[in-house]
A and B are shown apart, each in its own frame.
Chain A
């Protein structure tokens, strides 16, 4: 069993125990809500796992490390930042993709840039954002977040490079 499983199972068991001791009814409601959320993401999640399995088979690791690896430089960052900004992958199911990329040789900096732009910059949802904030503000927010995402990618890559 992976250390992940051990950590999450232990933590959920301890929290459930405490919660159950404090309030049985509330705990059951919590379980129900958790189950409902899990059910909602399960099939999209399975879809992504299938997609990642297929892609990992067809894209050889050296291609990924060449374009997204530690030595990919500006190209890697540009690909990550652009793809992350334009695509609309729910944050939740993008993590298996990120983990797959790292496993195949992509650098932490590039993956952090990809994840951050994915979360913070939304080109596709810009028209919707404009309805709430107006054109100038929505565009400004996205540009600022794009710059922030690049900084986050670089610094996270640097920090993880130092400790590993």
Chain B
């Protein structure tokens, strides 16, 4: 029963909302009606741009070869290494904890400590699908300002971590323990 709820949680939530809204309209429950007006507005806002964003993301996914970039990680250092790391991070999707296994892979491939932390920073806030949705909801000015302020800070954190972990025998583990 508990598992059933967990699995269908999102559907149950939406179904319950639809039922309550229909009841609100039948019985003339005003808060229900106002909430529905709010919902319609945000739904229209969402459905008129998010599906198109995913078309763009899907096309990016097939045209920009993530694997190819990954091959160069570790060999390139300096500015080129940083640019590649940020680019690779931007092509990913998903929550930050999904980036830890990738960080381990990059470490095994010889990426520097600095670049691994730059990767985590860029992963957390510059993924293309997320930037798209951010522009849609908060505007291009917000997105640009946030990205341009964040980027130097991540790079700074990368350098700071490298300096801090020098001679400390730091290694990224595979997460199994």
B62 A91 Cβ-Cβ under 8 A: no
B57 A37 Cβ-Cβ under 8 A: yes
Q: Given the complex, which residues of B lie within 8 Å of A111, measured CB to CB?
A: 138
Q: How many Å from the CB of B166 to the closest CB on chain A?
A: 13
B62 A26 Cβ-Cβ under 8 A: yes
One of B17, B56, B95, B175 near A131 (C-beta < 8 A) = B175
A30-B63, A49-B39, A91-B130 as given contacts; A15 in contact with B31, CB under 8 Å: no
B117 A116 Cβ-Cβ under 8 A: no
B52 A12 Cβ-Cβ under 8 A: yes
A119, B43: Cα distance in complex, Å: 24
Question: B residues near A, CB below 8 A?
Answer: 10-11, 13-14, 17, 31, 34-36, 38-39, 42-43, 45-46, 48-63, 93, 95-97, 100-101, 103-104, 117, 120-121, 124-125, 127, 129-130, 132-134, 136-138, 141-142, 145-146, 149-150, 153-154, 156-157, 160-161, 164-165, 170, 172-177
Report whether over half of chain B's contact residues are helix, strand or loop; otherwise say mixed.
Answer: helix
One of A43, A96, A164 near B10 (C-beta < 8 A) = A43
Most buried by A among B10, B62, B173, B174: B62
One of B46, B130, B136, B173 near A132 (C-beta < 8 A) = B173
B157 A112 Cβ-Cβ under 8 A: no
A-B contacts besides A34-B58, A95-B138, A116-B125, 11 pairs, CB < 8 Å: A8-B49, A12-B56, A31-B59, A46-B10, A46-B13, A53-B42, A128-B175, A131-B175, A144-B161, A151-B149, A152-B146
Q: How many Å from the CB of B167 to the closest CB on chain A?
A: 14
A116-B125, A148-B150 as given contacts; A128 in contact with B56, CB under 8 Å: no
Task: Give 1 or 0 for each of A124-164: 1 = CB within 8 Å of chain B CB.
Answer: 01001101111001001100110010011001100110011
A156, B174: Cα distance in complex, Å: 36
Q: How many Å from the CB of A133 to the closest CB on chain B?
A: 6
Interface residue? A108 (CB, 8 A):
yes
A16, B62: Cα distance in complex, Å: 12
B120 A1 Cβ-Cβ under 8 A: no
Interface residues on A, range: 35 or more
Report whether over half of chain A's contact residues are helix, strand or loop; otherwise say mixed.
Answer: helix
Q: Can you sample 7 A-B contacts with CB below 8 Å?
A: A31-B58, A33-B62, A37-B57, A53-B35, A91-B125, A116-B146, A140-B161
A3, B124: Cα distance in complex, Å: 27
A44-B10, A49-B46, A141-B117 as given contacts; A15 in contact with B173, CB under 8 Å: no
A136, B172: Cα distance in complex, Å: 12
B104 A34 Cβ-Cβ under 8 A: no
Interface residue? A79 (CB, 8 A):
no
A19 B172 Cβ-Cβ under 8 A: no
A115, B177: Cα distance in complex, Å: 31
Q: Which residue of A lies closest to B95 (CB)?
A: A90
Q: Given the complex, which residues of A lie within 8 Å of B35, measured CB to CB?
A: 53-54, 57
A125 B97 Cβ-Cβ under 8 A: yes
Q: Which residue of B lies closest to A44 (CB)?
A: B10
Interface residue? A56 (CB, 8 A):
yes
A141, B162: Cα distance in complex, Å: 12
A12-B55, A37-B57, A122-B97 as given contacts; A108 in contact with B142, CB under 8 Å: yes
